[in-house]
Structure 1
Amino acid sequence: MARVTAHTDTRQGILDTAYGLVGAKGFSGVGLNEILTSAGVPKGSFYHYFGSKEAFGEALLADYFETYLAGLDATLAEPGLSHAERLMNYWRKWQATQGSVDYQRKCLAVKLAAEVSDLSEAMRIALKGGTAAIIERLSRSIAAGVAEGSLGIESEPSTTAEDLYHVWLGASLMAKIVRTDAPFEAAMGTTRRILGLASP
């Protein structure tokens, strides 16, 4: 049992270390030796934990989305708030995270979507599954907001959720290009309009 725990801890340590490196340099820009050195794991032992760099990428995305979805679930279930307030808090957190220089907190879906989708079918599928799970949760929250009367939308909740996720994904990419918060501010305005919320 101790060996299994040690194996799991080391594997998780590699993944945890990789977040900041991949967030800063991208998947292709980070070498395995750099990851292992930063994690304090002997070089050459990578394949003891992952079958290939692609398998490592899949594991990294799976681990990322597991943590991300847990955080999203907590945000969308925050007590004492309407579903509209919870959703707006989610977008505010998105802006704070993506506008930050802390690569450990950066969204890997934003960082890796364009880079790896054409290079690795397995990683593309991992990204597709993770983002679909996010959109599904947003859709449920939007539907609940409509039911409670805090939101007013023109499309189906699922379509609205997908549209909003696309808006924020695009805003995150544009923010990288222009290096200002203007795309996020525009996304926030679009989000309020789509959800039928008055400007603050």
Structure 2
Amino acid sequence: MKDMRQAMLDAGFKLINEHGFAGVGLMKIIHEAEGTKGSFYHYFKSKEHFGEILLGDYFDNHLSILDGYLGDDTITRQQRVIEYFTFWSESKLTDDFRIQCLVVKLAGEISGTSNQMQSTMSEGTEKIIQRMADLFIEGNEDDDFNIADPKALSRTLYGLWLGSTLMAAMQRNRAILETAMQETITSIS
């Protein structure tokens, strides 16, 4: 039997990545998921609640992937960071320059609002930044890194990749991500 809640989240992810949050009507999500209005409201209180859950699930998945890369003790800490951002480069922007990152796609649309989606996005990004900062702190302690402010570097790298993904999509130029990788490598060497 089809998991309708997950089908709606999957449909929402696909449609919102294509059209933005405001650009996707509730009925479009429901139709894409082959659901009904009643089934939507069984799982979600409103479209905004749906967006909050969608972002929460997105961050949970992304953090799990990030933990996999950063926790891989078969390679150096520097290589873990490089592998993670290689994954980012290959997965967050399609070959035809469509953004596959909800943070990049929605940041401008919901930032500055006081709704729960903004809070969920802020909390999720802080978790990503902290996980990378923790790796840098551990690396400093083991003399793998000499990073003066691990949290600041983590925030800077995350911002670099968000912005570079957006710019690469806008300019249809994957070299922008290659430049972000070179900046990343320089900053952790």
Do these two structures clear the TM 0.5 threshold for a shared fold by scoring above it? yes
Give the alignment partner of residue 180 of structure 1, picking from 167, 173, 176.
173
Higher relative contact order (CA 8 A, sep 6+): 2
Paired residues in the alignment total 189
Q: 2:129 matched to 1:132? A: no
Q: 2:31 matched to 1:37? A: yes
Q: 2:11 matched to 1:17? A: yes
Q: 2:143 matched to 1:149? A: yes
Distance 1:104 1:177 in 2: 9
Q: Match for residue 186 of structure 2? A: 193
* Aligned amino acid, residue 145 of structure 2: L
- 8 Å contact 1:175–1:181 — kept in the other structure? yes
Deviation (angstroms), 1:44: 4.5
Q: Deviations over 1:14-51 (max 9, x none)?
A: 11221111111111111111111111112443222211
Deviation (angstroms), 1:76: 1.0
Distance 1:166 1:104 in 2: 19
Distance 1:147 1:85 in 2: 17
Q: TM-score, normalised by structure 2?
A: 0.91
Q: Deviations over 1:37-87 (max 9, x none)?
A: 111112443222211111111011011111111111111112411111111
Distance 1:195 1:91 in 2: 13
- 8 Å contact 1:167–1:187 — kept in the other structure? yes
- 8 Å contact 2:98–2:169 — kept in the other structure? no
Q: Deviations over 1:90-142 (max 9, x none)?
A: 11111111231589981111111101224552111110000000000000112
C-alpha change, 1:102 and 1:43, in structure 2 (3 Å) is farther
Q: Which runs of 5+ in 1 are unaligned?
A: 1-5
* Aligned amino acid, residue 50 of structure 1: F
What value does the CA root-mean-square deviation take over the aligned residues?
A: 2.2
Query: Identity of paired residues, percent?
Result: 39
- 8 Å contact 1:145–1:151 — kept in the other structure? yes
Give the alignment partner of residue 70 of structure 1, picking from 55, 64, 68.
64
C-alpha change, 1:125 and 1:18, in structure 2 (3 Å) is same
| Residues 45-60 of structure 1 aligned to structure 2 (within 5 Å) | 45-60=39-54
- 8 Å contact 1:19–1:103 — kept in the other structure? no
